[in-house]
Structure 1
Amino acid sequence: MKRAKIKSLDAINRQVLKSRINIIMLIIFLLCLMLIFRLGYLQIVQGDEYQEEIENAQYVEINQSVPRGEIYDRNGNLLVGNESQPAIYFTRHRNMNTSEIMDVATELSGYISMDTDSLTLRDQQDFILRNHRDFVEDLMSDEMTLLEDGNISNDDFNSEFYNRADAEAIEGVLNDEDLNILAVYVEMVNARELHPVVIKNEDVTEEEFARVNSALEELDGITTGMDWERHYPYGETLKTIFGEVSSPDEGLPRELVDYYLSLGYTRNDRVGKTYLEFQYEDVLRGKKEQVKYSTDKSGRIINQEVVRAGSPGDDLYLTIDIELQQELEELAEYHLTSLRGLAEEAERRNSLNGDFEYNIIPEFMDSVVLVVQDPNNGEILAMVGKQINEDGDVVDYHYAGLTSTYVAGSSIKGATIATGYQNDVISVGQYLVDEPLSFSGSPPKRSFFNQDSQITIDDQEALMVSSNVYMFKIALALDGIEYGSGMSLPSDIEEAGQTLRNGLNQFGLGVSTGIDLPNEATGLAPELKHNPGNYLDLAIGQYDTYSGLQLSQYISTIANGGNRIQHHLAKEVRHSDANADGPVIKSFSPNVLNTIDLSDAEMSQIQNGFYDVFNTHDESTNRYGTGWDAYNELEPKAAGKTGTAESYRDGEPVLNQTYLGYAPYDDPDMAFSVIFPNMPYTIPFFPAQYFGADVIQKYYELEYGQDEEDPYEYDISEFYPQLEYGSYD
């Protein structure tokens, strides 16, 4: 037998050691392999992401003042510009604490004077807690002992101090120097790291600017530069419509924070807050400069480099004609104050003579609204609103054409006629009898021009004399009803009411005009279901409410032959150019919202009726168009529609007077709407229609060079004797 080989102990130990070394080497190899894979993954797969993080840490888009784009009128006149002004900025470096900020504020306060009126009580309390410990200890001696003994927390101590140190308790503690330091500190303390904030940009004197400039090396984070503020070469004219821009202190307005943050803005960005500045923020905003900062180990800025220069926003050119706007503002003020004066004199005479059975309240006659546009493309040429305030001063009310709505009266009857055509309840030239309408259980309804007769008129003459009855009969026919004396009104007019409303809506009445401004009012459209009397009133403009813009779009749709064109104030956008008009980036073309489904004959019949309103006196019947007195002598001829609607103010009956028109009647390039709300409830109506005639005349003067004429002169001696007690049943 062979003897089995037995390994020596040393051999076994060597084998075990070798195995262990192999295992360790395998582990080391695997670890190295994992490291190589990890490095490759970080460099190849995630390298761009980390590089972006590094760049983002170095490149900061800062809120350095970049001017907004400017706003011009259609002829290149500057309406809203930028006024540069010296400014003092602070940039908070990384890791800068509040104590360091207070030190800088204290030093800077020796160079500039701040407005301290806006400092809050809490601001002053915090400053006293930090810098006036003697006062704090005297006021809070017991609490100070408890704090030192550890029986109350520092938060509890501070909370009690805020409760006890009211305005009266701290009066006189802070001197003017303290308040100035605090005002500087408040502007600085909320600054984000590496994002400059304005410390002072209003009323910075040359001396202050020079002194700060000379001490910049000593003032950590302080720089100087130029800022801007909006300025308005035409004063208050259309200033509300232009809108507001937030201040450097305000940044994103509280009510718009979420909206602007969603678009990538930062909280301290200056943005458009209202109207055109808000609507065209994307056009007017400038591009902020991008800066690369270099910092030391402590986070202090040691160098900065502009990577991308800032640039101003693009310029916005409007459809507004500022010369026409200002001329019409003067006219509006003249007519409003003249009519108020006419009412005051009529009231005075009535108080002496007792001629009338009703009140004339001049204070109610406090506003007028005017919109002028090109009917062919939707361009707004002027938006005028004037109002007499409680002090008797005339102030601008330009936004009223956008935000205020009124019952308009008979001026909307062209849309009622059109709805009758479209629903085959009347045809062109159809005759109906205008007569007092008698309904069971309801007071009679009649036309103003015909109180007690039966007069056969067609659709064209119905517009000329403003027949209510013609419109009532159309409304009844829309519900499948033919009028009969003493009949009962239908109990449910919901379907017919919607048909009639849709007919008015197609002209822009009761719906958005598409104007490029926020907060457009579309008017009130109360329920129409079991109220047939209100349904009939809707047909003559006595139920729903409309704005000046809606009435202007309606008359323009008739003027241009049936296209309802979207309103707009923006004409074009141009690149900003300090030396000349920049190149056009975008032009705003007409946008047809809908086309009225009428034949040429039907549209012409409505236009003919509107011509008659302003120009026709039928000698055979001695009937006049309702606007004949004011408009018949205009050359070239105009066309339009008048309206008077019953309303109430403070429980007193009043009349809204509306006047719509376009000119020249056969090839119009202007259309207008006028609203005089809350006029006295009298017959004849107060002669506000002359304002519309003066608007057309002024347009001809400016656009065609016609001879200038004086505006209509109101004469109480001629008007007062005509007044009678009003009845509009």
Structure 2
Amino acid sequence: MKRAKTKSLETINRQIMKSRINIIMLLVFLLCLLLVFRLGYLQIVKGDTYQEEVENAQFVEINQSVPRGEIYDRNGNLLVGNASKKAVYFTRHRNMSSGEIMDVAVELSDYIDMETENLSLRDKQDYLISRYPDEVERLMAEEQTLLENGNISQEQFNQELYQRIDEERISDILTEEDLNTIAIYVEMINARELNPVVIKSEGVTEEEFAEINESLDTLEGITTGMDWERDYPYGETLRTVLGEVSSSEEGLPRELLDHYMALGYSRNDRVGKTYLEYQYENVLRGEKEQVKYTTDKSGEIISQEVVKEGEPGDDLYLTIDINLQLEIEELAEHHLTSLREMAEEIQQRNSRSGEIDYTIIPEYLNTVVLVVQDPNNGDVLAMVGKQLDDNGEIVDYHYGALTSTYAVGSSVKGATVATGYQNDVIEAGETLVDEPLNFSGNEQAISSFFNRDGKVALDDQEALMVSSNVYMMKIALGLAGLEYHEGMSLPTDIQDAANKLRNGLNQFGLGVSTGIDLPNEARGLSPDLSNAPGSYLNLSIGQYDTYSALQLSQYVSTIANGGNRVGLHMAKEVREGDANEEGAVLQSFNGKVLNTVEFSPAELSQIQKGFFDVFNTHDTATDRYGTGWDAYHELEPKAAGKTGTAEAHFNGDNVLNQTYTGYAPYENPDMAFSIIFPNMPYTVPFFPAQYLGRDVINKYYELYHEQEPVAPYEYNTNEFYSRLVYDSY
């Protein structure tokens, strides 16, 4: 039997070593191969990317703010400009620590004085910890020992410190110089790398500016330059509607942060916050200057180069005529204050005589809003709102024409008549009987103001002239497929009819957006009508839904121009910014026809003639007057329009909203207007407010048609006192 061969121990060890070397070599080979692949990937695939990052580490482009475009009225009068002012800037270099920033703030504190009233306690506490460690140790000696021994955490130590160092204690330690330094530091510490921030732009003195310029070499990151702020040559006129711009300290407003960040803005950019400044931010913002900084390896700036000059924003020209705006503001103030004074005088007379309780509450009479526009193209020529504050002082309320809505009463009846035509309820010239409407279950009959107890046959034209409530309510019944007869029940199935009526009102702009190029437009209230037949009938006479002065103006303009509902707009054109002259027109805004109301010529004529009669006609045969005859019949050339009165409640008391809307001249109108006086006394004939409409037309004729000036209407308490009737209109 053969004996098996056995390997010596030395041979076995050699084989093991050889295997290990082979494995190591294989691993080395694989690692080298991986390295080759990785280097190839970095050079070929990612090479451009990393090269760009290397270059960006040395050359960084940033944007600097430029002045916004200016805003002008339609005639080139400057409404919003830019006032330049000296400013001190700080640019944070790369890797700059908070300690280094504090050192610069300490140095800069010797050159400028800052406002310190709004410094937070936390800012002062942090400064105390940083700059007065000995004081902190003295105040927190026991806690410091506990912290060093590990008995309390750093967080616990900090909480105790912030609670103990209150405002009173810190004021005993920090000097005025310290507070000034803190104010500077607060502005600097939030700066992003290589993005200049304003440290001070309000009240930089010539001395401060000069001294800093002389010391720029020693003040790291500090530069001087010019900043700007919005300037308003016409003061508070239209101030709210023109809008606001964020400050250099504020940057992107918190409530608009996501909106602007999505558009590529930086957090410290100054932007439009409200109304026109916000709406036309893309026009007004301009193109920012691009600066390329060269930094060394430590991140410090060693040179800078302007890559692209900044350009101010383009200029926005509005449809507003500032001269007309100012004149109508004066008229609105005159009428509002005069009506308030008359109400106060009548209240005093009542108090002395004790004849009748007229419940005239003067302080309720505190608001007027009105709009003047071109009815043909949607240009808003003037938008005015005035209020009397608690002290009886006039304050601007221009945005109320856009944001406040009211029940407007009979002014809407032209739209009700048109809805009757379109749904084959009435024909042009059709006669209906105006009579008290007695419904089953109703204790009080519904009647028109001019006819409380008789039966009067009226066609559509005269129904508008005398403002027949009954004529309109019979149209509403017809939309529900019903014909009135005495003692009938109110309709129950009115949803379809209500939709028809509301759609008819909407087609004129009532209850829908006017298309105005401003944010926050109110569309009004349109409550559910499915179980409210009485409210449905009231809707037909403007006593239910609510509308704005802008909507009321668009409505009457649609009648004036023959049926085109033209979108309202404040912007007329955009021009290239040019400090020396009007720039080239870059964009024009023309009124867009939002819809066309379907009239036959005969139907349109009936409504327009009815509106003419409201202002101009006294029917001697019946001794009936148009509801606006008193104020408007002497105008030349003639105007047309509609008046309205809506019952409302204010603080639990009965009040009336008085509305007036119209257009002029009657032939080929080039202006339309709407006026709303809310919360007027609930009395007859407390309607002298309609004279504001007359004065507005006269002022327009004076400015646009070169007519002789006409003095504003002067109120005479004696004329109205003897005619007052309580709780009736």
Q: TM-score range by the shorter chain?
A: over 0.9
Aligned to 1:134: 134
**Rounded Cα–Cα distance in structure 2 between residues aligned with 1:114 and 1:130:** 20
Aligned to 1:554: 555
Aligned to 1:626: 627
**Rounded Cα–Cα distance in structure 2 between residues aligned with 1:678 and 1:716:** 19
The code of the aligned residue for 1:596 comes to V
Would you say the 8 A contact 1:335–1:691 is kept in 2?
Answer: yes
Would you say the 8 A contact 1:84–1:229 is kept in 2?
Answer: yes
Secondary structure in structure 2 of the residue aligned to 1:407:
coil
Q: Relative to structure 2, which stretch is displaced further, 169-178 or 669-678?
A: 169-178
**Rounded Cα–Cα distance in structure 1 between residues aligned with 2:142 and 2:21:** 74
1:264 pairs with 2:299: no
Secondary structure in structure 2 of the residue aligned to 1:417:
helix
Distance 1:204 1:31, change over 3 A: same
Give, in angstroms, the shift of residue 172 of structure 1.
Answer: 2.4
1:512 pairs with 2:516: no
**Rounded Cα–Cα distance in structure 2 between residues aligned with 1:625 and 1:229:** 52
Secondary structure in structure 2 of the residue aligned to 1:425:
coil
Give, in angstroms, the shift of residue 63 of structure 1.
Answer: 4.5
**Rounded Cα–Cα distance in structure 2 between residues aligned with 1:538 and 1:73:** 38
**Rounded Cα–Cα distance in structure 2 between residues aligned with 1:469 and 1:52:** 79
**Rounded Cα–Cα distance in structure 2 between residues aligned with 1:700 and 1:39:** 82
Aligned to 1:4: none
Aligned to 1:13: none
Would you say the 8 A contact 2:543–2:647 is kept in 1?
Answer: yes
**Rounded Cα–Cα distance in structure 2 between residues aligned with 1:645 and 1:688:** 14
1:642 pairs with 2:629: no
**Rounded Cα–Cα distance in structure 2 between residues aligned with 1:631 and 1:200:** 57
Aligned to 1:599: 600
**Rounded Cα–Cα distance in structure 2 between residues aligned with 1:39 and 1:141:** 58
Aligned to 2:90: 90
Would you say the 8 A contact 1:59–1:290 is kept in 2?
Answer: no
Secondary structure in structure 1 of the residue aligned to 2:150:
coil
**Rounded Cα–Cα distance in structure 1 between residues aligned with 2:566 and 2:46:** 54
**Rounded Cα–Cα distance in structure 1 between residues aligned with 2:267 and 2:28:** 52
The code of the aligned residue for 1:350 comes to N
Would you say the 8 A contact 1:61–1:288 is kept in 2?
Answer: no
The code of the aligned residue for 1:96 comes to M
Give, in angstroms, the shift of residue 717 of structure 1.
Answer: 1.2
**Rounded Cα–Cα distance in structure 2 between residues aligned with 1:50 and 1:657:** 72
Aligned to 1:704: 705
1:535 pairs with 2:536: yes
What's the TM-score once normalised by structure 2's chain length?
Answer: 0.95
Give, in angstroms, the shift of residue 132 of structure 1.
Answer: 2.2
Secondary structure in structure 2 of the residue aligned to 1:181:
helix
**Rounded Cα–Cα distance in structure 1 between residues aligned with 2:59 and 2:275:** 34
Would you say the 8 A contact 1:63–1:197 is kept in 2?
Answer: no
Aligned to 2:158: 158
Give, in angstroms, the shift of residue 342 of structure 1.
Answer: 0.8
The number of aligned residues is 712
Matched ranges for 1:55-94 at <5 A = 55-94=55-94
Q: Relative to structure 2, which stretch is displaced further, 251-260 or 156-165?
A: 156-165
Give, in angstroms, the shift of residue 164 of structure 1.
Answer: 2.1
Unmatched tracts of structure 2, length 5 or more = 1-19
**Rounded Cα–Cα distance in structure 1 between residues aligned with 2:349 and 2:279:** 50
The code of the aligned residue for 1:71 comes to I
Would you say the 8 A contact 1:93–1:194 is kept in 2?
Answer: yes
Aligned to 2:246: 246
Q: Deviations over 1:606-637 (max 9, x none)?
A: 11100110011111111010001100011111
Q: Relative to structure 2, which stretch is displaced further, 687-696 or 292-301?
A: 292-301
Matched ranges for 1:365-404 at <5 A = 365-404=365-404
Matched ranges for 1:672-691 at <5 A = 672-691=673-692
Aligned to 1:659: 660
What's the TM-score once normalised by structure 1's chain length?
Answer: 0.95
The code of the aligned residue for 2:175 comes to N
Would you say the 8 A contact 1:61–1:290 is kept in 2?
Answer: yes
Secondary structure in structure 1 of the residue aligned to 2:330:
helix
Give, in angstroms, the shift of residue 43 of structure 1.
Answer: 4.9
1:489 pairs with 2:490: yes
Would you say the 8 A contact 1:368–1:387 is kept in 2?
Answer: yes
Give, in angstroms, the shift of residue 131 of structure 1.
Answer: 1.7
Would you say the 8 A contact 2:61–2:293 is kept in 1?
Answer: no
Secondary structure in structure 2 of the residue aligned to 1:722:
coil
**Rounded Cα–Cα distance in structure 1 between residues aligned with 2:673 and 2:95:** 62
Unmatched tracts of structure 1, length 5 or more = 1-19
**Rounded Cα–Cα distance in structure 1 between residues aligned with 2:108 and 2:588:** 49
**Rounded Cα–Cα distance in structure 2 between residues aligned with 1:133 and 1:676:** 66
Q: Deviations over 1:239-289 (max 9, x none)?
A: 100100001111110111111111111111111000000000111002112
**Rounded Cα–Cα distance in structure 2 between residues aligned with 1:531 and 1:21:** 98
Give, in angstroms, the shift of residue 429 of structure 1.
Answer: 0.4
Would you say the 8 A contact 1:552–1:672 is kept in 2?
Answer: yes
Secondary structure in structure 1 of the residue aligned to 2:64:
coil
1:181 pairs with 2:181: yes
Q: Deviations over 1:374-411 (max 9, x none)?
A: 00001100000000001111010000000000000000
The code of the aligned residue for 1:566 comes to G
Matched ranges for 1:413-452 at <5 A = 413-442=413-442, 443-452=444-453
Distance 1:55 1:235, change over 3 A: farther
Give, in angstroms, the shift of residue 159 of structure 1.
Answer: 1.4
Q: Deviations over 1:35-78 (max 9, x none)?
A: 77766654554444344444544554535231001100000111
Distance 1:57 1:524, change over 3 A: farther
Would you say the 8 A contact 2:60–2:294 is kept in 1?
Answer: no
Would you say the 8 A contact 2:62–2:292 is kept in 1?
Answer: no
Q: Deviations over 1:489-512 (max 9, x none)?
A: 012311111111111011000001
Q: Deviations over 1:152-198 (max 9, x none)?
A: 23332111111222223323221111100110011111111111110
Q: Deviations over 1:190-239 (max 9, x none)?
A: 11111111000000000000011101011000000000000000000001
Aligned to 2:220: 220
The code of the aligned residue for 2:473 comes to F
Would you say the 8 A contact 2:663–2:672 is kept in 1?
Answer: yes
**Rounded Cα–Cα distance in structure 2 between residues aligned with 1:36 and 1:673:** 80
Aligned to 2:14: none
The percent of aligned pairs where both chains have the same amino acid is 71
Give, in angstroms, the shift of residue 150 of structure 1.
Answer: 2.8
1:209 pairs with 2:227: no
Give, in angstroms, the shift of residue 290 of structure 1.
Answer: 1.5
Give, in angstroms, the shift of residue 685 of structure 1.
Answer: 2.6
Would you say the 8 A contact 1:316–1:570 is kept in 2?
Answer: yes
**Rounded Cα–Cα distance in structure 1 between residues aligned with 2:330 and 2:579:** 32
Aligned to 1:12: none
Aligned to 1:586: 587
**Rounded Cα–Cα distance in structure 2 between residues aligned with 1:86 and 1:447:** 67
**Rounded Cα–Cα distance in structure 2 between residues aligned with 1:275 and 1:342:** 36
Aligned to 2:297: 297
**Rounded Cα–Cα distance in structure 1 between residues aligned with 2:168 and 2:41:** 66
**Rounded Cα–Cα distance in structure 1 between residues aligned with 2:48 and 2:439:** 83
Secondary structure in structure 2 of the residue aligned to 1:84:
strand
Q: Deviations over 1:660-711 (max 9, x none)?
A: 0100111011000000001101101330000000000000101111101110
Aligned to 2:615: 614
Q: Deviations over 1:438-470 (max 9, x none)?
A: 011112110001001100000000000000000
Secondary structure in structure 1 of the residue aligned to 2:678:
strand
**Rounded Cα–Cα distance in structure 1 between residues aligned with 2:691 and 2:365:** 16
Distance 1:676 1:60, change over 3 A: farther
Q: Relative to structure 2, which stretch is displaced further, 138-147 or 712-721?
A: 138-147
Aligned to 2:109: 109
Q: Relative to structure 2, which stretch is displaced further, 36-45 or 89-98?
A: 36-45
CA RMSD of aligned residues (A): 2.1
Secondary structure in structure 2 of the residue aligned to 1:218:
coil
Distance 1:459 1:60, change over 3 A: farther
**Rounded Cα–Cα distance in structure 1 between residues aligned with 2:59 and 2:540:** 65
Secondary structure in structure 2 of the residue aligned to 1:439:
coil
Would you say the 8 A contact 2:64–2:290 is kept in 1?
Answer: no
